[in-house]
Every structure is written in C-alpha cells, then in structure tokens.
Amino acid sequence: MAEQVADIALIGLAVMGQNLILNMNDHGWVVCAYNRTTEKVDKFLASEAKDTKIVGAHSLQEMVAKLKKPRRIMILVKAGAAVDGFIDKLIPLLDKGDIIIDGGNSEYQDTQRRCQQLAEKGLLYVGSGVSGGEEGARFGPSLMPGGHKEAWPHIKDIFQSICAKSDSEPCCDWVGEDGAGHYVKMVHNGIEYGDMQLICEAYHLMKTGLGMDCDEMSEVFTKWNQGELDSFLIEITANILKFKDTDGTLCQQDCVICSRFYAVERGCS
C-alpha cells in the first residue's frame, strides 16, 4: 500500500490546477497531482513540479492511497459533466468524513445537488469560488468556500495560507452552506462582466462620439485609475490602449476587453 504522504490531492492539471498546486507547495503542503490524461501528470512532475515535494498519481486509487485522513481532494476541471464523473468515481474509494472540494466555476445549483448527493454517502462536499485567474492561482487567489461546514476546520489552514491577503487578512472565509461558494462566485463574475461592459461603453463613446484616439483614451483611463475607479480592470484597459502591435494598431491580445473593443471596431457593440 502507498504511503499516506499527501495533505491534499488536486485533480485537473490545466492552468488553474497546476498553479494552485505550486502555490500549495510553496506554503509547505504536500500535494498529490492527478489528471484524466495521465501523461500530463508525468509532464508536470518533470517540469514545473521538478524538485518540489509534489507527488503524482496515475489512477484515482493510487491518488486516494497517498492521502492523509480525512482525505482532502480538490477538483479543478471543466465545470459540468467532468465534475460529476469524478465524484461518481471517487465515492466508492472514499471513507465517511473524507472531503471533496470543487474549485471550478460550477453552477451553484449543481453544487447544491452534489452536497445532497454526498451527504447521503457520509462524505463532505465543498464548492469553492476561485478568483484571480492563472496569476491568482499561483500567487494568491480569492477563495470563496461553501457547502458542508464540518469540512471547514480541515481545509481552513490550507485555504487561508494560499489565498491572497488584504492588509494581512486572508481573502478567504467560509461563505455559507450548500452552493453558497459558487453563488458568491457567480455574483462576483456578474459584477466583473458588468464592469467590463461599462469600460467598453466608455471606449465606444470616447472613440465614436468624441473621436479620441487610443493614446488619448489611455490617458483618460490612467487618470481614472488614480482616483475612485482605481482597479485592475481600469489599469489593464489603460495599458491595452497604450499597447501598439507591430503594425501600430490596437492591441490584439486574446482577452475579454480586447475582443470587446474589436466588437466596437466592427460596429457590433
């Protein structure tokens, strides 16, 4: 039988999973990495995870056997059927009191349903919003865990060590029962997308109404970022407008704000 060495397992070695594992490793946690396509486990262990305490598994059985008890397993895969698929495969491998955490962007009603499903099996379930993208996952995300509160004492230290800090306060606390974590993440995303829509409407008015060029608009966003509107989105908008592609045109990066600016360019704002 494998030695129970890992504090937590993380399923899903795409951008979010890999970065969160490296973040956990930096904070002293031993993580067992697993992915559906197991070649990615080997690739990760041989590259980014080389010379760390991170261990890997090539099957869910092997992963579960490497975990300290109560077992803590975080899933960070595409929301929807992939999450249900892993939960169904994990249930027969786990013991009462073990904890499954879904850190993806799951729909909160799915999380409510999964809480009920796992409560019937004596397992604990947490649905956690994770915010901050790739950079956040690596160096400090905002975490919004909710679900079965009995799980919180077992995951609190891990979550509050890896999350972002605001004036040394962790950007992570228990947000409530059932699908509360994913509900909060949904509201958070709604605010973020509303904010991006406002930025794009401001761009549209400045460009088509006032005839301003990108440098002039960038100056306005830079000024806005020094006052009440100081925020990540206003800051990157100022930078996007300042950026010149090699042909001198507007930034063509693959991000939401750039693609919306292009929608304005094409007259379909």
Which tokens belong to 260?
């919306």
The residue number whose beta carbon is nearest to ligand NBP equals 104
Q: How far is the CB of 139 from ligand NBP (least distance, A)?
A: 13
Q: Is 16 in the site for ligand NBP (CB under 6 A)?
A: yes
Amino acid (one-letter) located at 103: G
Nearer to ligand NBP, 41 or 199 (CB): 41
Interface positions, 200-229, toward ligand NBP (CB under 6 A): none
Q: Among residues 1, 3, 37, 167, which is the contact residue for ligand NBP, using CB under 6 A?
A: 37
Amino acid (one-letter) located at 51: D
Q: Is 24 in the site for ligand NBP (CB under 6 A)?
A: no
Q: Is 105 in the site for ligand NBP (CB under 6 A)?
A: yes
Q: Among residues 27, 68, 69, 78, which is the contact residue for ligand NBP, using CB under 6 A?
A: 78
Q: Is 171 in the site for ligand NBP (CB under 6 A)?
A: no
Q: Among residues 8, 57, 104, 128, which is the contact residue for ligand NBP, using CB under 6 A?
A: 104
CB 266 within 8 A of CB 205: no
Q: How far is the CB of 201 from ligand NBP (least distance, A)?
A: 24
Q: Among residues 2, 14, 45, 65, which is the contact residue for ligand NBP, using CB under 6 A?
A: 14
Collapsed DSSP state (helix, strand, coil) of residue 188:
helix
Nearer to ligand NBP, 105 or 160 (CB): 105
Helix intervals (H) in the chain: 15-26, 39-46, 60-65, 81-90, 108-119, 133-139, 152-162, 180-204, 214-224, 232-242, 256-265
> How far is the C-alpha of 9 from the C-alpha of 100, rounded, in Å?
10
Catalytic residues: 185
Q: Return the DSSP state at 205.
A: I
Size of the site for ligand NBP (CB under 6 A): 22
Nearer to ligand NBP, 78 or 244 (CB): 78
Place of tokens 């004596």: 122
Q: Return the DSSP state at 70.
A: S
Triad 19, 15, 22: Cα angle to 5°: 15
Q: Is 47 in the site for ligand NBP (CB under 6 A)?
A: no
Helix (H) or strand (E) holding 164: none
Q: Is 15 in the site for ligand NBP (CB under 6 A)?
A: yes
Place of tokens 């605010």: 191
- Residues of this chain that bind ligand NBP (CB under 6 A): 12-17, 35-37, 40, 76-79, 81-82, 85, 104-105, 130, 133-134
